[in-house]
Structure 1
Amino acid sequence: MKPEETPSTRPYLLRALYEWCTDNGFTPYVAVMVDETVQVPREYVKDGEIVLNVSFDATSSLKLGNDFIEFKARFGGKPRDIMVPMDRVMAIYARENGQGMSFPVNRAQRAVQQFEAVKTDESPSAGLAAVPAAGKADETDVSTTPNSAPRPTLTRIK
């Protein structure tokens, strides 16, 4: 296998950190850079990004695959199907202490997304990011991350 064909370590590290969070009673959050390949409620996207609570209590049918994160969650009282390509995941971290890991994402594409959001004024005004609240998946609803939420302590991989 050529170096450029080496499979990404991102899904494996993401699953390991998800397991670490759940084993230690923490709430795993994933930060996602949104583009046309990401299936999330656009009304909760801010500055081209969204933060999602992927805990067992906030999701239904969670699948942390090699290519996608897929699950069902409630946003504004409505059940939604969520699908995030692994290469759009910017970080995974524990809500309670901010410990986790960040991942590289194409910065050029991010700059274009931010320009488009400003140009079309698509970014919502309320809250920092959308996060499904704790509770059973069929009772879960989204809340915005408060400005006082701990900043994640992340380790960047290359």
Structure 2
Amino acid sequence: MTSSKPYLIKAFYDWISDNQLTPYVVVDTTVLGVQVPWQFVQDNQIVLNISGGAVGAISFGDNAIEFTARFSGKIEYITVPFGAVGAIYAKENGAGSSFPIEHDETFEEEDISTDEPSIKLEDASIEKPTTDDNNKSSSKKSGRPTLKVIK
């Protein structure tokens, strides 16, 4: 029999959202497959606002919740396996449920490639920009942002 946890998380998400409340999930970042911005992780946990207004393209798949969200103005792709969800609750009143963390998430061995690293050291090299007259004028930083009208 399949786990009921994904169904319960989706049901709580729908229930919280239908009542115009803000759904939050508590994620254990030590679980295999979690993709979150690590600079916001504290004590191996992160709390994520998964309301429709805060995330884009949210998807409740068979194994994980996937969506995009902005962190410090940068769009991040987030993956949260259902085994990593410790709780889902409404921000406004705390209504929701907690769940046990499942560290033995059922990812197949072939899903995790150990043959070659996905990022090589030479891929990470950064070239210094060349300086010419055009770059000098655009690289000046003023105190205030400006907009330019282009017709």
TM-score of the aligned structures, taking structure 1 as reference length: 0.63
Is it true that 1:95 corresponds to 2:122 in the alignment? Answer: no
SS at match of 1:71: strand
The structure richer in strand per residue is: 1
Task: After superposition, give the CA deviation of every residue in 1:50-95 in whole Å (9 maximum; x if it has no partner).
Answer: 0000000000010012201000000011000000111000000000
Name 1:41's counterpart in structure 2.
37
Question: Deviations along 1:86-135, whole A, 9 cap, x unmatched?
Answer: 1000000000000110001158xxxxxxxxxxxxxxxxxxxxxxxxxxxx
Count of matched residue positions in the alignment of Structure 1 and Structure 2:
103
Give the structure 2 partner of residue 74 of structure 1.
Answer: 70
Higher relative contact order (CA 8 A, sep 6+): 1
CA deviations 1:14-66 (Å, max 9, x no partner) are 11101111110000000000025210000000000000000000000100122
Structure 1: 4+ residue segments shifted above 3 A: none
Q: CA RMSD in A?
A: 1.5
Is the partner of 1:69 in helix, strand or coil?
Answer: strand
Letter in 2 for 1:21: I
Residues 1:59 and 2:55 are matched in the alignment = yes
| Matched residue type, 1:58 | A
Aligned-residue identity in percent: 49
Question: SS of 2:93's equivalent?
Answer: coil
From 26, 29, 32, the equivalent of 2:21 is 26
Q: Is the radius of gyration larger for structure 1 or structure 2?
A: 2
Note the residue ranges of structure 1 that are not aligned, 5 or more in a row: 1-5, 108-158
Unpaired runs of 5+ residues, structure 2, are: 104-151
